Amino acid sequence: MLKIKNINSYYGKVHALKNVSLHLKQGEIVTLIGANGAGKTTLLNSLSAVIPTGSGELLFEGAPIMNLPPERIVRLGISQVPEGRQVFNPLSVADNLELGAYLRYRSREGKGEIAKDLDTVYALFPRLLERRKQAAGTLSGGEQQMLAIGRALMARPRLLLLDEPSMGLAPLVVQEIFRVLETLRSEKKTTILLVEQNARAALRLADRGYVLETGKVILEGSTSELLENKDVQRAYLGREKKEVWER
Amino acid sequence: MEQIWDQTYECMEREELEQLQLERLQATLNRAYKNVACYRNKFTGLGIVPEDVQSLSDLSKLPFTSKEDLRLNYPYGMFAVPLREVVRIHSSSGTTGKPTVVGYTKNDLKTWSNLVARFMTAAGVTHDDVVQIAFGYGLFTGAFGLHYGSETIGATVIPMSAGNTEKQIMIMQDYRTTTLVCTPTYAITLADKMEKMGIDPKSLTLKVGLFGGEPWSEAMRREIESRLCLSATDNYGLSEIIGPGVAGECPHKCGMHIFEDAFLPEIIDPETCQPLPPGSVGELVLTTLTKEAFPMIRYRTRDMTSLDYTKCTCGRTMVRMRKTMGRSDDMLIIKGVNVFPSQIEEVLVAVEGCEPHYQLVVDRVGALDVLEVRIEVTENIFFDEMKRQKAFLETVEKRIESVLGVGVTVRLVEPNSIPRQEGKASRVIDKRRI
């Protein structure tokens, strides 16, 4: 579904992504793990064209999407849930969600479809229904995260990009959010690219994973393989901390 | 529909496979470059960084790795993880005395087991089978590879190890072995023994034979199949890469499928080292794509073969390699053990103190390989006394055996009776029909 070959991206003079290649198959949940500054967010931002990609090849369902205008990419079926939720604080929950369908208002499908999707989001996150009239800024962190995901879903993505959905959330809330991701995959067949610092939770949910280190992919494998890998255990699962000095 | 162990990978579309190969190749290069000094130095010497590999064809820019590199980095220099993460060591004989050491992490062992399970399944082994493993257990990878593969499939393993032919046959009869794992020559030894003991192979329950560890011919396959009443299949592997599990035959027996999601094969001209177009005969070069402890980049296997990318009727999309057709160096495989003439030469130099004229004669008596070392008599090693002469020969035999791991006979010949020719070929006479 998504194929990335040798992409390079820069933040000013910093070479943030070096020759990264990866792919996602229809219906897969793939996770991208790595330390701070490894290039995970950069990769998502390159995909959604929030930042320009220097070179390489980005194919979505066979068509090149590199550096298209971001709204075109959303229309093609890729939505990003940004890091730190970034909901529109003064607007109500309902308005935030409807803005997620912004590109669809002028299309021919009509408002009926959008209303239907709104119901689906409320069904996934009943809490949002309860608070639909409340300003987004007054929600808890977990609720804001749900809102951010709901807003992305309103664009009916076939590929959902999630940037650190568990950041700063209580473990129970994280569980709830991850459960929704699982439902999205099984019921809506949504393909998901998940960037996470909470590697353990991400590896439990995903089918495959890539490990990024200073802008390069150093490992690709099934999540069970990655969980067994000592580098992953040491760096991202917090095991064997005492022995880090040895290398 | 025949059984395929790992449909997702074994039947992957070529385009999808190539993307996966590229991703895994780049990840392997990044890891090897970071963790293995030998690779880093070689790359630096050529002014290459891992990022220069942007497509599978860029592989040809990278330097080769040879057995010599492994020798220079003996024992652990080529490991890409600290020894603490290595859970298994295997080794194989090296060109000049020192063996080659390879290591596996937990994940590597799991990967290995699954790769072996793939070709065992392809050969027709299922969880209902009883697998008798008559490879020697020990530092060689053969027995353990097949052992883990069988257990992964869920078959019943009889870890017989090599030798003791009569007992092998007794167990085969009593335990109702359905799958035989050994070298092809040992399969013939078993058949000979059974014939001598008056055992009808039809009275056995054998179904499949998985033979490897040495090259063998179609003629041998026919002989084994008719004399042991089983389907004889070939598989390929070498310890430097992973052991058995690099490639294996499907029931159509039209070449061994290389598991390309784990290994990237190339065929090169052994003289010019240039990659050859698909279909040509040349030396097989392999790059590992999933190994953690012991990644190999463009390892020269020295095995001559060719690759067939046409689709196989079994449904697997993985490329097929032909049975190996000899070596691009002077290595001999005797009773499944790798033997280099240089190893013998070293022993002779050590014993005699000067370079001798010698010749190696390999033959097959019955189904057993025999190696005879002929040495030209010189002043140094000529003794008047028969007793001393005999003792000398015995010492040489013992020394060679301890280095090679296989027994040899040493014979003295007349001075100047060994033809003097340039090149190593004249040093070795291989009378075996392979």
pLDDT tens for each residue of A158-202: 999 999 999 989 999 999 999 999 999 999 899 999 999 888 889
Domain final residue, candidates B266, B296, B329? B329
- Of B316 and B425, the one with more pLDDT: B316
Compare CB distances from A228 to B22, B27, B107 and report the shortest one's residue.
B107
Q: Say if the Cβ atoms of B31 and A218 lie within 8 Å.
A: yes
In Å, what is the CA distance from A216 to each residue of A11, A219, B55, B291?
A: 15, 9, 15, 18
A19 touches chain B (CB under 8 A): yes
Our count of domains for chain B comes to 2
Which of A3, A217, A247 lies closest to B27 in CB terms? A217
3-state SS record for B147-164: HHHHHHHCCEEECCCCCC
Q: What pTM did the predictor assign?
A: 0.86
d(CA B433, CA B410): 22
SS3 state at B246? strand
User: Given A18, A23, A246, which is nearest B23 (Cβ)?
Assistant: A23
- From the list B54, B82, B290, the residue facing A19 with the nearest CB is B54
Residue B247 has a pLDDT of 97
Q: How many residues does chain B have?
A: 434
Q: Domain check: are B44 and B82 in the same one?
A: yes
CATH of the domain at B115: 3.40.50.12780
Q: How far is B335 from chain A (nearest CA, A)?
A: 36
C-beta atoms of A23 and B19 within 8 A: yes
pLDDT at A222 over 90: yes
Q: Both B190 and B318 in a single domain? A: yes
pLDDT for position B423:
42
Residue B276: CB partners within 8 Å, gap ≥ 6?
Answer: B267, B268, B269, B282
Q: Does the beta-carbon distance from B22 to A5 stay under 8 Å?
A: yes
- Chain B residues with CB inside 8 Å of A6's CB? 54-55
Angle at A69 between CA A66 and CA A70, to 5 degrees: 90
Q: Name which of B211, B134, B130, B128 is nearest B169 in CA terms.
A: B134
Could you say which of B329, B361, B381 is where a domain stops?
A: B329
Clarify whether residues B319 and B203 are in a common domain: yes
- What sign has the CA pseudo-torsion B67, B70, B72, B74? negative
Same domain for B199 and B100: yes
Nearest to A229 among B16, B82, B292 (CB): B292
Judge whether A247 is closer than 8 Å to chain B, CB to CB.
Answer: yes
Question: Mutate which of B11, B17, B53, B54 to test chain A, going by most A C-beta atoms within 10 A?
Answer: B54
Q: What's the whole-number mean pLDDT along residues A206-235?
A: 92
pLDDT per position as a tens digit, B353-382: 666 778 888 888 877 888 998 888 877 777
Alpha-carbon distance B371 to B9, whole Å? Answer: 42
Write out the two tokens for A64.
């090149």
Residue A245: pLDDT band (50, 70, 90) is: very low
Over residues A76-104, the pLDDT tens digits come to 999 999 999 999 999 999 999 999 998 88
Q: Does B300 lie in the same domain as B341?
A: no
Q: Which pLDDT belongs to residue A244?
A: 44
Minimum Cα–Cα distance from B30: chain A residue? A218
CATH number of B419's domain: 3.30.300.30
Domain encompassing residue B128: 1-329
Residues B261 and B387 in one domain: no
Query: Do B325 and B405 lie in a common domain?
Result: no
Q: Is B24 on the interface with A (CB under 8 A)?
A: yes
Q: Are residues B390 and B295 in the same domain?
A: no
**How many angstroms separate the CA atoms of A145 and A177, rounded?**
8
Mean pLDDT across chain B: 90
- Is the CB of B54 less than 8 angstroms away from the CB of A6? yes
Mean pLDDT (whole number) for B115-127:
97
Work out how many CB contacts closer than 8 A connect A with B. Answer: 62
Among B223-232, B263-272, B295-304, B413-422, the range scoring the smallest mean pLDDT is B413-422
Whether the CB-CB separation of B209 and B248 falls below 8 Å is answered with: no
Chain A residues within 8 A of B19 when measuring between CB atoms: 3, 5, 21, 23
The backbone torsions φ and ψ at residue B7, rounded to the nearest 5 degrees and listed phi first, read -55, -45
Pair B319, B406 in one domain: no
Strand partners, B304: B283
Residue B272's alpha-carbon distances to A216, A228, B194, in angstroms, are 33, 41, 48
pLDDT on residue B426:
59
B280 and B346 inside one domain: no
Instruction: Categorize the per-residue pLDDT at B421 as very low, low, confident or very high, splitting at 50, 70 and 90.
Output: low
**Per-residue pLDDT tens digits for B38-60:** 999 999 999 999 999 999 999 99
User: Any chain B CB within 8 A of the CB of A61?
Assistant: no
What structural domains and CATH numbers belong to chain A? 2-89+156-246 (3.40.50.300)
Q: Which of these three, B282, B306, B329, is where a domain ends? A: B329
* Interface contact flag, A218 B30, Cβ < 8 Å: yes
The SS3 assignment for B9 reads: helix
List chain A residues with CB under 8 Å of B31.
218-219
Residues B324 and B340 in one domain: no
Rounded to whole angstroms, the Cα distance separating A242 from B226 reads 61
Asked if A228 lies within 8 A of B106 by C-beta distance, the reply is: yes
Same domain, B165 and B135: yes
B window 46-85, beta carbon within 8 A of A:
50-51, 53-55, 81-82, 84-85
Q: What is the pLDDT of residue A246?
A: 45
pLDDT tens digits for B50-94?
A: 999 999 999 999 999 998 899 899 899 999 999 999 999 998 765
